[in-house]
Amino acid sequence: MTKGSVRFEGVTKHFDDVVALKPLDLDIAPGTLVTLLGPSGCGKTTTLRLVAGLEPPTSGRIFIGGEDVTHLSATYRKVSMVFQSYALFPHMTVAENVGYGLTVKRMPKSEVRPRVEEGLAMVGLEGFGDRLPSELSGGQQQRVAVARAIVLEPEVLLLDEPLSNLDAKLRRHVREEIREIQQRLKLTAIYVTHDQEEAMAVSDRIIVMKNAEIAQEGTPADLYERPNSAFIADFIGDANLLPVDVTRAGETVDIVVDGRQMALPTAFATTGQANLVLRPHQLRLTREAAADTLPAEVSYAAYLGNQVQYTLTTALGEIFAVTVPDANPFQKGDRVHIGFDPAAARIVSV
């Protein structure tokens, strides 16, 4: 195994009666950014702290760069962590903050100075070394925290919700910077977030966790285009989930939706009750019915400039649709018909 890889073999973590992590197997390739994504309490931070050595596992083995670090304390692991609360020392200058870890390691001052300058340059903060953290914006402070982590030349960079203290606009900017630095330095990074858009934007791979285990892992496109459950379909992007009966399973399927027979060119393994996944922007709304459309009534219409959002009442429940604005938008109370491209539809288990 090469430098920067991370491997979990059957790792579990219990806090007394609480199972924070069921047996987990992980393989993170060097130089990739992998996100742990999931709802509150699913075990993301626990997983990160196990990599850092801040918690011992209850069972299983952890490898970094091919070395078994299961019983190695945090100080000796080649990882650095960036926290959501930047955790900069307010009374120290930016340069002192960035050099802190190196000073603690007793690196001579003459070596620390150029490393700090290089670190600040890497995050685009040349010339900021003499300022105090309070003299920087939130985004700049988080870049200082990233610089402080990377000057230690970690094999693995750990980021725990690094953007949650930033406002929405800045968040996008800083996430692009973090991704750019990670790719330029070919760092292995593990990134924790509960924000699916952020995860999609920065990751090579996403590990979605639920109830202390992996629900699905893959590239952002794998998860969006081939969700393996209703939970993933709903969690990664907006999705309408409609109850259907699968009458023929296999590489392509036949379904019955609201009494209509349809053939879909998508794979599903079992017959019986399932969910049809329809993305809001893949729906087509028309005034006329066709053989494969669903009748609906517009219960809410919102014009947002670049798109129109509709909430539609149907026999199968509420459906959310997004269309591009046109000259003749539908109004609340209009009767419409919903169509979709069978090639874009997916089936997931209930």
Residue numbers at the binding site for ligand ATP (CB under 6 A)? 15, 18, 20, 38, 40-46, 194
Report the nearest approach of ligand ATP to the CB of residue 175 (Å): 17
Report the nearest approach of ligand ATP to the CB of residue 159 (Å): 13
Distance from C-alpha of 306 to C-alpha of 127, rounded to nearest angstrom: 41
Report the nearest approach of ligand ATP to the CB of residue 185 (Å): 26
Amino acid at 328: N
Q: Which is nearer to ligand ATP, 43 or 237 (CB)?
A: 43
Residue 244 vs residues 21, 153, 196, 297: alpha-carbon distances, Å: 34, 53, 27, 20
Question: φ, ψ for residue 120 (rounded to 5)?
Answer: -65, -35
Report the nearest approach of ligand ATP to the CB of residue 41 (Å): 4
Q: Which is nearer to ligand ATP, 36 or 296 (CB)?
A: 36
DSSP β-ladder status, 188-193 and 33-37: parallel
For residue 340, the SS3 value is: strand
Residue 165 vs residues 97, 161, 206, 210: alpha-carbon distances, Å: 19, 9, 22, 24
Q: What is the distance between the terminal CA atoms of the chain, rounded to a whole angstrom?
A: 39
Instruction: Name residue 210's beta-bridge partners.
Output: 213
Report the nearest approach of ligand ATP to the CB of residue 232 (Å): 16
Report the nearest approach of ligand ATP to the CB of residue 18 (Å): 5
Where does residue 298 fall: left (phi above 0), alpha (psi -120 to 50 degrees), or beta otherwise? beta
Q: Which is nearer to ligand ATP, 17 or 251 (CB)?
A: 17
Q: Which is nearer to ligand ATP, 205 or 346 (CB)?
A: 205
Q: Which is nearer to ligand ATP, 203 or 266 (CB)?
A: 203
For residue 176, the SS3 value is: helix
CB 99 within 8 A of CB 151: yes
Q: Which is nearer to ligand ATP, 123 or 158 (CB)?
A: 158
